[in-house]
Amino acid sequence: MATRERRSQRRTEALSRERIVEAAIELLDAEGEGGLTFRALTQRLATGPGAIYWHVANKGELLDAATDAVIAAALAGEPAGPAGSPQDAIRAVAFGLFDAIDDHPWLATQLATQLSRGPGGPVAPRIFESIGRQVRALGVPEDNWFTATSALMHYILGAAGQNAANARGVESDVDRAEFLGAVAKAWEELDPDDYPFTRAVAEQLREHDDREQFLAGIDLVLAGIATLRLPGR
Amino acid sequence: MATRERRSQRRTEALSRERIVEAAIELLDAEGEGGLTFRALTQRLATGPGAIYWHVANKGELLDAATDAVIAAALAGEPAGPAGSPQDAIRAVAFGLFDAIDDHPWLATQLATQLSRGPGGPVAPRIFESIGRQVRALGVPEDNWFTATSALMHYILGAAGQNAANARGVESDVDRAEFLGAVAKAWEELDPDDYPFTRAVAEQLREHDDREQFLAGIDLVLAGIATLRLPGR
DNA sequence: ACCTGAACACCGTTCAAGT
DNA sequence: ACCTGAACACCGTTCAAGT
């Protein structure tokens, strides 16, 4: 609750783009997408809106910078060192993104927004590169690099984003079970004529383990990619 | 341009939730996410904000209803009739969603937002059911229904959303080539040490065909699903 | 070069009042 | 039951003025 920590303590460090982005991330984490306003930001940074606009063009740019900072940190784990198999490296990248979206649920929407604006921004190449290197290491023929990397990336971001919903505002395992139980119940109460499949799958939703399920999807896509490999390799 | 068509013509049909949702979709299509405001809506419907709030709880609900209406229409194509193979049926569903997002680019963000709020809304079961039925018809073992359907759904929505960027505000094939060329150029100018893979793939980005690429991804996931099939079937 | 803070235009939402 | 429209609180952004 304590909505206003560090409210009017005098600012010691000078304002900077990094400091502003950091404060924006804190606000987004604490209060969700709606929590990032210039007024909350000026209060937390003990400054005025003009000062922020000196370092950042507008709110959209700030949101993009916050997204990029979190994604860059999430992908900074593996320093290109040849550790295990490419498959394991892909799983590591996937769980890095999974955890980032779990910790910062606002990323789900933000990533979709940014990617649907085109691969122009810095985020798309970052994710694409991390996954693509391992796709190449897998021995996938070059013609299929784009397809294989895209399939992995979209599954990872989509599944991680949907998963974040299960953890949102959930404090304990009991809360989680309660939440999933409620959704499963809603699915079971759908019209039997219109939703036979969804009803049949409701029980799996109730009992599933998030990370295990996520991993199963990764391995499914990896199995598809394996069929692309040239016989020679 | 002509921002204000049908501005103050007297309203003939009575206001209704359907009419409001229809107007909201028109505004979103014409002006993007930022174009949907209650003021634009009241003008287009020749009414006041209070009248809209009588039929709709708030803006979020209106956005959800608009999303649901478009998705429902996109999935209404196949009437469960046994036409071709399950694979073809999945491709048909996928292209239905692809075209819907292409026609209504605001869907990309909106779907991500709605799905990341959990499978509670009406949209998630709709998409899940359309794809899942065909997954079942494919002979996938029941334990893998959720995984297989999720993998397909996330690839379809993610790839279609990213694709919509290529078509955004693009009027001709020349525009499209220009846009893709610019992105490919940006990719080619990335740091060679940090982005070797992305640079290598830039050329594929320039020359690719959207629908062909999308289909290749579907078939990749389908190949992965095929490895799940029980030997017996 | 960097920051202040009042002011502006615009937004979602409410509500007393009408029919 | 359904609609009107003024009003409220809040938002992103600008800009003349300061240091």
Q: Which residue has the tokens 């505002």?
A: A169
Chain B partners within 8 Å of A201 (Cβ): 128, 132, 145-146, 149
pLDDT confidence of residue A10: 47
How far apart CA A196 and CA A198 sit, in angstroms, is 6
Q: What angle do CA A150, B219, B131 make, to 5 degrees?
A: 95
* Burial profile A47-70: b = 16 or more Cβ within 10 angstroms, e = fewer: eeeebbeebbeeeeebbbbbbbeb
- Is residue B149 pLDDT above 80, yes or no? yes
Q: What is the pLDDT of residues B133-143, one digit of tens each?
A: 999 999 999 99
When comparing pLDDT for B103 and A79, which is higher?
Answer: B103
pLDDT confidence of residue B11: 58
Would you call A187 and B125 a contact, using CB atoms and an 8 Å cutoff? yes
**Chain A 13..42 CB hits on strand C (< 7 A):** 14-15
Mean pLDDT of chain B, nearest integer: 90
How far apart CA A117 and CA A94 sit, in angstroms, is 22
Share of chain B above pLDDT 90, in %: 76
Closest residue, chain B, to A33 (C-alpha): B113
Q: CATH topology for B80-226?
A: Tetracycline Repressor; domain 2 (1.10.357)
Read out DSSP for B87-110?
HHHHHHHHHHHHHHHHH-THHHHH
How far apart CA A63 and CA A123 sit, in angstroms, is 12
CA at A122, C1' at C1: how many angstroms apart? 28
- Is residue B171 pLDDT above 70, yes or no? yes
Helix, strand, coil shares of chain A, percent, nearest 5, are 70, 0, 30
Residue B140 contacts by C-beta under 8 Å, 6 or more apart in sequence? B148, B225, B228, B229
- Is residue B6 pLDDT above 90, yes or no? no
Chain A partners within 8 Å of B113 (Cβ): 108-109, 112
In chain B the first and final C-alpha atoms are separated, in Å, by: 57
- The pTM assigned to this predicted structure is 0.92
Instruction: Write down the H helix ranges in chain B.
Output: 17-31, 38-45, 49-55, 59-75, 86-103, 106-115, 123-137, 145-167, 173-188, 196-207, 210-226
| Cα dist from B224 to A152, B120, B148, B152, B156, whole Å | 12, 28, 9, 10, 15
CA at A53, C1' at D14: how many angstroms apart? 10
Same CATH fold assignment for domains B1-56 and B80-226: no
pLDDT confidence of residue A11: 58
- Is residue A80 pLDDT above 80, yes or no? no
CA at B3, C1' at D14: how many angstroms apart? 25
Is residue B171 helix, strand or coil?
A: coil
Q: What is the pLDDT of residues A191-212, one digit of tens each?
A: 999 999 999 999 998 889 999 9
**Chain B 18..37 CB hits on strand C (< 7 A):** 36-37
- Note the CATH number of domain A1-56: 1.10.10.60
Is residue A40 helix, strand or coil?
A: helix
Nearest by CB to A161, from B112, B151, B221: name it: B112
- Is residue A43 pLDDT above 70, yes or no? yes
pLDDT confidence of residue B118: 80
Chain B partners within 8 Å of A165 (Cβ): 115-119
How far apart CA A82 and CA A80 sit, in angstroms, is 6
Q: Which of A79-83, A196-200, B132-136, B183-187 is the least confident region? A: A79-83
Closest to A95 measured CA to CA, from A219, A214, A227: A214
Domain limits, chain A = 1-56, 80-226
How far apart CA B89 and CA B133 sit, in angstroms, is 10
